[in-house]
Amino acid sequence: MSIPFKLDIELHVNGIEYPVTIDAGRNLVSVIRTEIGLTGTKEGCDDCECGACMVLLDGQPVNSCSYLAAQAQGRTIVTIEGVMHGADLRPLQRNLLEAGGVQCGFCTPGMIISATALLARNPSPTDEEIRIGLSGNLCRCTGYVKIVEAVARTAAG
Amino acid sequence: MTVATPRRFVRADGPDKVTGSGRYTADLTFTGMLAAKFRYAEIAHGRITRLDTTAAQAISGVFAVITDADVPDVRFGPFVADRTLFARDVVRFEGEIVAAVAASTPEIAARAAAAIIVEYEPLPLVTDLEDALTAGASLVHEHWAVYGSADPVVRDRNDASFSSITTGDVDAGMAAADLVIESRFVADGCHAVPIEPRAVVAQWEGNKVTIWTSTQVPFDARAGVCETLEMPASRVRIIVPHLGGGFGGKCGFHYEAHVAALARVAKRPVRLVFSRREEFLAPDRRREGMVIDIRTGVRHDGTITARTGWMAMDNGAYTADAGFFPQLAAMHIAGPYKIPNVSVEAHLVYTNHQPSGSVRAPTAPQACWALESHTDEVAAAVGMDPVAFRKLNAVDTGDVGPSGQTYGEIGVQQCITEATRLVGYGETPLPHDEAIGVAIGWWPSFAVPSGAYIKLDGDGSGQIITGAQECGTGAVMTLRQLAADELGMNPEDFELVYQDTSVAPYDMGATGSQTLFNNGRAVVAAAGQIAEQLRNLAAEFFEASAADIVLADGGAYVAGSPVATVSIAELAGIAASGELLIGHGSGTPPATPQLVGSSCVGDLGMAAFVAPQFSCHAVRIRLDRDTGVVRVLEVAAAHDSGTIINELGALGQVEGGVMMGIGQALTEGTVYDDEGRQRNAGLLEYKLQTCADSPVIRTHFVQIVTPDAGPRGAKGLAEAPNVATAAAIANAIAKLVGTPVRRLPMTPERVWEALQS
């Protein structure tokens, strides 16, 4: 059994610097949920398969279950809690509600992170591009139809 | 009676979910909280010869290690009391819990769980369903004759429960047939796979325990804790934070008592959070594997004269809620058809696999897949189009079904018409690698007691305090609409207070598609009491008769004088200084129909068809003949689930159910090794459908105000869309392959093998 060694790092999450002391092997999702106290990022598989733990790292969506917290030092992290515009929902969040793209809600934070990144790199995706863009996020409730519709509505403004 | 246009409204819990502010069980922390880990059997059948927790106890940071010796001597189970919280003497499946640990961190807890010493004497494996029923088979429960049970279960070999439906004279019916078609199908087990792995937190204060848990059935969870820890219901409080999906997998009583027992010994709050691997291996809710034989006698004109069916279903090591599933399975093999002579029997068989239980429409997708594949074979044998064959033989309004029930107004014929129209069945020639398959299905709406309170506070805002559990379907969200309509208010005027067994009255939970069907009735009754109070207050206000008061648009007025209104808020203010506005309701479930089937554990599975739902799915697929890969291009789903209250939520149920059905058809199946252990207990190996796989889904609701339905003619909807999809895909594949693929899931390998035969 390896003896864990501690690291003192700073993580930049949703515009705030958080100094944290962690075991070197800790993954980013557990540090965000436990040390930083933001539980909107979910953990569904610890296997990089479900996408529930997605966060934006310098604008790129990553599965934070399979990313070392130490590697995120010095980079900009955005979680679901950092997506809103002040007190207002983003159009994507509103469209997900109005289109019916939310049921149990457990995949929703990761889905929003994924779709936000998709729309940032491709503001006018086709339905096919949306389907492929969101294929790293598993949803068991909706059949994806209304999620795709919400992202398309958001792109159409 | 006319059907009102359904509304489309945004779910009340939506803002919590799109902002990340909604709390799920694993998000909760308490001061001094410890982490729980289980030690599992890891072998499928063995006698415990040594169990030593000394080394685990000695690890720094470990607060509690418990086994069977540390909890009351209770055997439990809803149909057969065959289970204990912790393994006692014998382990019967790989995910059986041998011991539990509470420690200061999950890492220390995992280390301590691994440090527990357990040794076994291997026992013979029981894994084959037909072998398990033979006279000389090893028994999974050697001494189950002494177990308790709710009903007079016949303790025969490994046959945990059986059901049969017999009507008419099958021998005469077969003799009257021009052709007799016989088919065999084998379905693998599969999983519910909610995206949220389950979690439980328990905290004691004095002799009372509060348990936050990701359950679909909080009252059932409470009953399980009370039974196994020998406590009265008044001292056990179950709270369910947001629930990240269930699909039946989170029905039943699971780990609430284990975590509560740990917390009591450790004298600290304790939290259990499952890994995805545990989510696959440990719960006693898995869709059962099946072996299915069906034989149908048919005349040249397409009339079915007789049917026999035999099925064995993999119960796994313990009988969870699957005890009554043979009835559901038998109903699905008999099917929604007019057949004068039927003899069907279904057996639930103990094995050394993970226990099976509720997964969205339990038994239906596999049984419907077999029956509807067989139905296409029968139609082909008499040279009939499979859709025309179904229209000829499917039950219709006024017909008598296999259980002897005479159906009121039902919409199965309209479902067939609409689904085939939506997909363009038979209209244009398809490319050589495409085909359309069609299947019909049915599903019950369980009629059971259910309760709710409503109160209007002094400012006129309301709270619906319900025992119903929301698992994502939106059924609880719909209750606001029902209350608002009764009181002439807006859904947004009501907050939903739910998921707390110490606050709300009983409800069966998010199971059996029953929430709207039963709790909807309770909410309407509760709102009706407040409506009466408001009418009396308004009558006094206007010096009019209460019978003339109309409640509408957030106010009350005297019929014929809508200009002079008093707001509900003002009336609520008056009430606040007198008789408070409090309503309660429990509705009255409809009477159950007369039945002809028989079962060793009552007749719930057949009686639940009192207000049956029907569906027809028509699916267009493309097959790559070189690889056996099937791509679903388009699904048309027509459903008779009665009237639709919230169209947005209803569409979401159908689309989600269809997508789950595609997974069950093509990729989702448990694979076992030679030792009875799951080989694909992870999302890398057990593949769900992704967004990139999703087809076009067109939905049509055949809205009929069904007799004996729930509020406003609504029936359940959450499970029905998961019934017919795999069957329709199978029939499309069979058209392209030339023969049915007789194993489920119909993986590329199996399709390719069928192509070679």
**What pLDDT sits at residue A35?**
96
User: Highest mean pLDDT: which of B6-15, B95-104, B595-604?
Assistant: B95-104
Write out the two tokens for B531: 């409506």
Task: Supply the CATH number for residue B328's domain.
Answer: 3.30.365.10
Task: Determine, for residues B195 and A107 on separate chains, whether the beta-carbon distance falls below 8 Å.
Answer: yes
Residue A107 or B499, more confident: A107
Residues of chain A with C-beta less than 8 angstroms from the C-beta of B683: 45, 47, 49-50, 138
Q: Which residue from B14, B22, B690 is facing A135, i.e. has the nearest CB?
A: B690
CATH number at residue B59: 3.90.1170.50
Of A46, A100, A109, which is closest to B652 when you measure between CB atoms?
Answer: A100
Q: Is B391's pLDDT higher than 90?
A: yes
In the sheet that holds B566-567, the strands lie side by side as B549-552, B555-558, B566-567
Question: Which of the pair, B608 or B482, is modelled with greater confidence?
Answer: B482
Cβ partners under 8 Å of residue B685, min gap 6: B679
Judged against a pLDDT cut of 80, whether residue A1 lies above it is answered with no
The 10s digit of each residue's pLDDT in A86-106 is 889 999 999 999 999 999 999
Which residue among B273, B304, B338 closes a domain? B273
- Structural domain contains residue B353: yes
CA dist B194 and B279 (Å) reads 9
**Domain containing residue B64:** 23-123+198-273
Residue B45 to residue B90: CA distance in whole angstroms: 7
Is it true that the peptide bond before B745 is cis, omega within 30 degrees of 0? yes
CATH of the domain at A31: 3.10.20.30
Q: What residues of B are in contact with residue A100 (Cβ under 8 Å)? A: 8, 648-649, 651-652
Q: Within a 10 A sphere around the Cβ of B511, how many other Cβ atoms? A: 25
**Residue B513 corresponds to which tokens in the numbers above?**
């598609």
Query: Both tokens of residue B333?
Result: 């093999």
B2 confidence band (pLDDT: 50, 70, 90): very low
Q: Is residue A1 part of a domain?
A: no
> Do B511 and B448 meet the contact criterion of CB atoms below 8 Å apart?
no
pLDDT digits (tens, 9 = 90+) for B23-80: 999 999 999 999 999 999 999 999 999 999 999 999 999 999 999 999 999 999 988 9
**B250/chain A closest Cα distance in angstroms:** 13
Return d(Cα B248, Cα B357) in angstroms, integer: 8
The DSSP element (H or E) to which B103 belongs, if any, is strand B97-103
On whether both A73 and A122 belong to a single domain, the answer is no
pLDDT (tens digit per residue) in B623-653:
999 999 999 999 999 999 999 999 999 999 9
Q: Is residue B411 part of a domain?
A: yes
Give yes or no for a contact between A80 and A71, defined as CB atoms under 8 angstroms apart: no
Please report whether residue A11 resides in a domain: yes
Of B244, B276, B684, the CB nearest to A105: B244
Whether residues A89 and B18 touch (CB distance < 8 A) is answered with yes
CA distance A44 to chain B (A): 6
Number of domain units in chain A: 2
- Cα-Cα-Cα-Cα torsion A30, B246, B243, B516, nearest 10 degrees, comes to 170
Indicate whether B616 and B689 sit together in one domain. yes
Q: Which one of B19, B651, B659 has the shortest CB-CB distance to A93?
A: B19
Cβ separation of B247 and A140 shorter than 8 Å?
yes
Cα end-to-end distance, chain A, whole Å: 54
Evaluate if residue A3 carries a pLDDT over 90.
no
Both B311 and B437 in one domain: the answer is yes
Based on the fold, state whether residues A68 and A107 are members of the same structural domain: no
Pairing of strands A6-13, B90-91: unpaired
Question: Binning pLDDT at 50, 70 and 90, where does residue B710 land?
Answer: confident
Q: Which residue among B17, B111, B658 places its CB closest to the CB of A143?
A: B658
| Same domain, residue pair A13 and A75 | yes
Looking at the fold, whether A104 and A148 belong to one and the same domain comes out as yes
Q: Which of residues 189-248 of B touch A (CB under 8 A)?
A: 193-197, 242-247
In a domain, B154, yes or no: no
What does the pLDDT look like over B216-241, one tens digit per residue? 999 999 999 999 999 999 999 999 99
Q: Which residues pair with B455 in a beta bridge?
A: B463, B582
Minimum Cα–Cα distance from B684: chain A residue = A49
Same domain as A73, residue A51: yes
B 692-751 residues with CB < 8 A to A: 692-694, 697
Among A44, A65, A82, identify where a domain stops.
A82
Contacts of A130 in chain B (CB under 8 A): 691
Q: Quick check: B245 and A106 CB within 8 A?
A: yes
Instruction: Note whether A95 and A152 are same-domain residues.
Output: yes
Residue A11 and residue A77 in one domain: yes
Residue B589: pLDDT band by 50, 70, 90 thresholds? confident
Report the pLDDT value the prediction gives residue A2, as an integer from 0 to 100: 54
Q: Determine phi and psi for B412, rounding to 5 degrees.
A: -65, -40
Q: Are B204 and B331 within one domain?
A: no
Closest by alpha carbon to B118, among B91, B146, B158, B148?
A: B91
Task: Please report residues of A whose CB lies closer than 8 A to that of B11.
Answer: 97, 102-103
pLDDT tens digits along B424-468:
999 999 999 999 999 999 999 888 999 999 999 999 999 999 999
* Residues B562 and B637 both lie in one domain: no
Asked if the C-beta of B10 comes within 8 angstroms of chain A's C-beta atoms, the answer is yes
Tell me: do B559 and B486 sit in the same domain: yes
For residue B746, the model assigns a pLDDT of: 98
Q: Say yes or no for a CB contact (<8 Å) between A97 and B18.
A: yes
Residues A100 and A149 in one domain: yes
- The SS3 of residue B71 is coil
Structure token pair of residue B609: 């068809």
Q: Closest approach of chain B CAs to the CA of A47, in angstroms?
A: 7
How many structural domains is chain B composed of? Answer: 3
CATH, residue A111: 1.10.150.120
Contact assignment for A145 to B655 by CB distance below 8 Å = yes
CA dist A119 and B112 (Å) reads 46
A29 and A69 together in one domain:
yes
Query: Which amino acid is it at B131?
Result: D
- To the nearest whole Å, the CA of A19 is away from the closest chain B CA by 21
- Residues A147 and A96 reside in one and the same domain: yes
Shortest distance between the Cα of A67 and any Cα of chain B, in A, equals 17
* pLDDT at site B1: 41
The whole-angstrom distance between B197's CA and the closest CA on chain A is 6
In chain A, residues with a C-beta closer than 8 Å to the C-beta of B17 are: 102, 105, 108
**Residue B473 covered by a domain:** yes
Contact (CB<8Å) A140/B656: yes
- Is residue B545 located within the same domain as residue B613? no
- In a 10 Å sphere around its CB, with 0-12 CB exposed, 13-18 middle and 19+ buried, how is residue B297 labelled? buried
B245 vs A84, A104, A144: nearest CB:
A104
Boundary of a domain, candidates A82, A102, A131 = A82
Asked if B77 and B202 sit in the same domain, the reply is yes
Instruction: Decide if A97 and B15 are in contact by the 8 Å CB cutoff.
Output: yes
Residue B420 lies in a domain: yes
Alpha-carbon distance B669 to nearest alpha carbon in chain A (angstroms)? 16
563-592 in B: which are within 8 Å (CB) of A? Answer: none
Per the structure, the complete domain to which residue A53 belongs is given by 6-82
Interatomic CA distance for residues B589 and B81, integer angstroms: 28
Selected for mutation to probe chain B from A50, A118, A141, A154 (highest B CB count within 10 Å) is A141
Residues 643-662 of B with CB under 8 A from A: 648-649, 651-652, 654-660
Q: pLDDT per residue over A23-50, tens digit each?
A: 999 999 999 999 999 999 999 998 899 9
Least Cα separation, residue B538 to chain A (angstroms): 36
A-chain CB neighbours of B8 within 8 Å are 100
* Overall average pLDDT of the B161-190 stretch: 96
Q: Is the predicted pLDDT of residue B705 greater than 90, yes or no?
A: no
**Chain B residue closest in CA terms to A85:** B19
Residue linked to tokens 């179904």: B390
Among candidate residues B555, B585, B615, the one where a domain is terminated = B585
How many residues are there in chain A?
157
Q: In this complex, which of A100, A105, A146 lies closest to B17 when CB atoms are compared? A: A105
> Closest Cα of chain B to A109: distance in Å?
6
Q: What do you get for the CA distance between the two ends of chain B, in Å?
A: 54
Contact B708, B610 (CB under 8 A): yes
Give the mean pLDDT of B290-301: 98
Residue with tokens 């409080």: B237
**Residue B304: closest CA among B464, B455, B496, B168:** B168
Helices (H), B58-128: 106-115
**B311 and B428 fall within a common domain:** yes
- Domain co-membership, A123 together with A73: no
Tokens of B695: 């087809």
Neighbour order of strands in the sheet with B452-456: B494-498, B462-466, B452-456, B581-585
Would you call A33 and B471 a contact, using CB atoms and an 8 Å cutoff? no
The token pair at B143 is 């001494």
In this structure, the answer to whether residues B357 and B387 fall within a common structural domain is yes
B517/B431 same-domain check: no
Q: In this structure, are B568 and B650 located in the same domain?
A: no
Instruction: Report CA-CA distances (Å) from B118 to B43, B50, B89, B97.
Output: 11, 5, 11, 12
How many A/B residue pairs have CB atoms within 8 Å? 169
Query: Per residue in B512-521, pLDDT tens?
Result: 999 999 999 9
Tell me the average pLDDT of chain B: 95
| Same domain, residue pair B458 and B425 | no
Q: Is residue A118 in a domain?
A: yes
* The domain boundary residue, chosen from A55, A82, A109: A82
